[in-house]
């Protein structure tokens, strides 16, 4: 296992990870942050299902999957020639698209309607995708199912969806637990709160999962201190610059905007973990009115230094991904809780 330490790491470091001979398959994997986390924890990632061509190209370039399905989970669930290896999984992983539940979005206005978002490049009901994912679990019958999503899924009216998710998992043969994890307590220099649905197959009679994550937080300055000087720089606009001079480090630009706008923009406090990295990249450097560059976002998202983003914006890909170290911590806890004794 790669040591729980700061600084750069590279794809070649995965060769030094002790393998546990357990298999994972992923849905909605985007560029593969979560898959990278399972590999860091010693799991064998067989591949996954992804609807977006650009994201799949990135995934294939970095992960070299054995099984790779460029389609939606709805189409995957209809296949009649799924390999037997995928029907004997240890973990099925997935991050169903979450924009309809995000606290930063319009939420209720998008529920129950077809919505076009970049990953799919087509219109679909995003709030249905979680239930299609549960059907994938019913089809493949893995021992454990892990579904990561936004914190907004457990807020307000969205909690009704949680009840339906628990109900459908039960129908599929799984007992489900719901957790709220903060990446800042899991070796990630970022205050990123995410829900994790962790479901165990009923016929296995596994004990409930009891994870504890309480690592010392890592500041942005500490995580980025060994980055070599580079020329990648994108300045914020003159209008945003006026807000930058007023806003306190670590706070949203909305706190100084006359109308409370620019919620997703913030100046980084170098002495603390950053705010959540998003696909739109609204994190601004504390010493100069510029956006954090891709080298800094890699450190904050715990991506390998030599990850190949092809021709896609690196900050977008990382903002759409689960931090690898966050998934690694969850995967290690699951291995120790349910699989370690069996493998020894």
pLDDT in tens, the chain (344 residues): 454 455 689 999 999 999 999 999 999 999 999 999 999 999 999 999 999 999 999 999 999 999 999 999 999 999 999 999 999 999 999 999 865 554 444 544 554 555 555 544 555 566 789 999 999 999 999 999 999 998 988 877 767 888 999 999 999 999 999 999 999 999 999 999 999 999 999 999 999 999 999 999 999 999 999 998 888 999 999 999 999 999 999 999 999 999 999 999 999 999 999 999 999 889 999 999 999 999 999 999 999 999 999 999 999 999 999 999 999 999 999 999 999 976 65
Q: CA-CA distance, 189 to 218, in Å (whole number)?
A: 5
| pLDDT score of 43 | 98
**CATH of the domain spanning 11-216+319-343, picked from 1.20.120.550, 3.40.50.150, 3.50.50.60, 1.10.3720.10:** 3.40.50.150
Q: How many other CB atoms sit within 10 Å of the CB of residue 221?
A: 14
| pLDDT score of 107 | 43
Q: CA-CA distance, 344 to 331, in Å (whole number)?
A: 17
Q: CA-CA distance, 250 to 269, in Å (whole number)?
A: 4
Q: CA-CA distance, 176 to 202, in Å (whole number)?
A: 10
| pLDDT score of 4 | 47
| pLDDT score of 160 | 80
Domain ranges of the chain: 11-216+319-343
Residues 92/132, Cβ–Cβ less than 8 Å? no
**For the CA atoms of 14, 17, 20, 21, what is the dihedral angle to 10 degrees?**
40
- Per DSSP, the three-state class of 44 is strand
Q: CA-CA distance, 308 to 32, in Å (whole number)?
A: 11
pTM: 0.92
**HSE toward the beta carbon, residue 182, CA cutoff 13 A:** 13
| pLDDT score of 30 | 92
């Amino acid at each position: 296992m790669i040591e729980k330490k700061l600084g750069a790491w590279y794809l070649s470091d995965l060769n030094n990870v002790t393998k546990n001979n357990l298999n994972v398959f992923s849905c909605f994997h985007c560029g593969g942050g979560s898959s990278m986390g399972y590999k860091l924890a010693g799991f064998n990632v067989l591949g996954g299902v992804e609807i977006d061509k650009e994201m799949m190209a990135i995934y294939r370039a970095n992960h070299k999957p054995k099984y790779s399905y460029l389609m939606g989970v709805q189409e995957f669930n209809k296949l009649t020639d799924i390999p037997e290896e995928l029907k004997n999984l240890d973990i099925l992983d997935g991050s169903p698209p979450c924009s309809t539940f995000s606290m930063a979005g319009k939420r209720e206005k998008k529920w129950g309607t077809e919505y076009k978002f970049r990953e799919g490049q087509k219109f679909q009901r995003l709030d249905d995708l979680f239930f299609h994912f549960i059907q994938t679990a019913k089809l493949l019958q893995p021992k454990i199912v892990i579904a990561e999503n936004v914190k907004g899924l457990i807020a307000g009216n969205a909690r009704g969806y949680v009840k339906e998710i628990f109900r459908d998992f039960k129908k599929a043969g799984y007992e489900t637990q719901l957790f709220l994890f903060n990446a800042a307590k899991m070796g990630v220099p970022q205050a990123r709160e995410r829900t994790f649905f962790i479901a165990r197959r009923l016929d296995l009679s596994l004990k409930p999962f009891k994870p504890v994550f309480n690592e010392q937080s890592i500041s942005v300055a500490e995580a980025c201190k060994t980055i070599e000087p580079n020329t990648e720089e994108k300045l914020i606009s003159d209008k945003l610059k006026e807000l930058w001079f007023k806003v306190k480090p670590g706070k949203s630009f909305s706190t100084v905007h006359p109308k409370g706008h620019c919620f997703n923009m913030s100046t980084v406090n170098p002495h603390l973990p950053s705010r959540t990295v998003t696909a739109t990249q609204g994190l601004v450097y504390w010493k100069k009115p510029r956006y954090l560059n891709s080298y800094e976002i890699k450190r904050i998202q715990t991506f390998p230094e030599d990850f190949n983003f092809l021709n896609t914006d690196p900050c977008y890909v990382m903002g759409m991904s689960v931090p690898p170290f966050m998934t690694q911590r969850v995967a290690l806890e699951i291995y120790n809780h349910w699989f370690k004794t069996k493998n020894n």
